[in-house]
């Protein structure tokens, strides 16, 4: 059920750490996005409802820090 999904990307207070929080449904959403990028060899966007998305949730899990509203996952062709 969409209302129960948790998936947030949050930076620590000092900006040195990225925390990813997710429950079963949220982490499956992340896996779906990564698999989509692998298949398309392009990129995908994950956004909160405030940024016209539905992939990420807006409730911070980390005390302090910064909630990210937009995450892009890029495929990199190397070499």
Strands 43-47 and 70-74: antiparallel
How high does pLDDT run on average in the chain?
95
What is the C-alpha to C-alpha distance for residues 64 and 2, in angstroms, rounded to an integer?
Answer: 26
Total count of domains within the chain: 1
- What tokens appear for 69 in the block? 């509203």
In this predicted structure, the answer to whether residue 2 has a pLDDT above a threshold of 70 is no
What is the C-alpha to C-alpha distance for residues 21 and 55, in angstroms, rounded to an integer?
Answer: 13
pTM for the predicted model, two decimal places: 0.90
> What's the pLDDT score for residue 1?
42
In this predicted structure, the answer to whether residue 76 has a pLDDT above a threshold of 50 is yes
Beta bridge partners, 70, equal 47
Q: What is the pLDDT of residues 25-50, one digit of tens each?
A: 999 999 999 999 999 999 999 999 99
Would you say residue 47 lies in a domain? yes
The residue segments making up the domain with residue 48 are: 2-74
Would you say residue 21 lies in a domain? yes
Helix (H, G, I), strand (E, B) or coil at 7: strand
Beta bridge partners, 9, equal 20
Question: Residue 29: exposed, middle, or buried by beta-carbon count in 10 A (0-12, 13-18, 19+)?
Answer: buried
> What's the pLDDT score for residue 63?
87
């Amino acid at each position: 059920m969409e209302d129960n999904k948790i998936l947030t990307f949050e930076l620590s207070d000092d900006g040195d750490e990225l925390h990813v929080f997710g429950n079963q449904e949220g982490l499956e959403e992340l896996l779906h996005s990564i698999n989509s990028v692998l298949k398309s060899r392009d990129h995908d966007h994950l956004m909160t409802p405030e940024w016209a998305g539905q992939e990420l949730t807006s409730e911070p899990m980390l005390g302090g820090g910064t909630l990210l509203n937009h995450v892009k996952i890029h495929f990199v062709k190397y070499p």
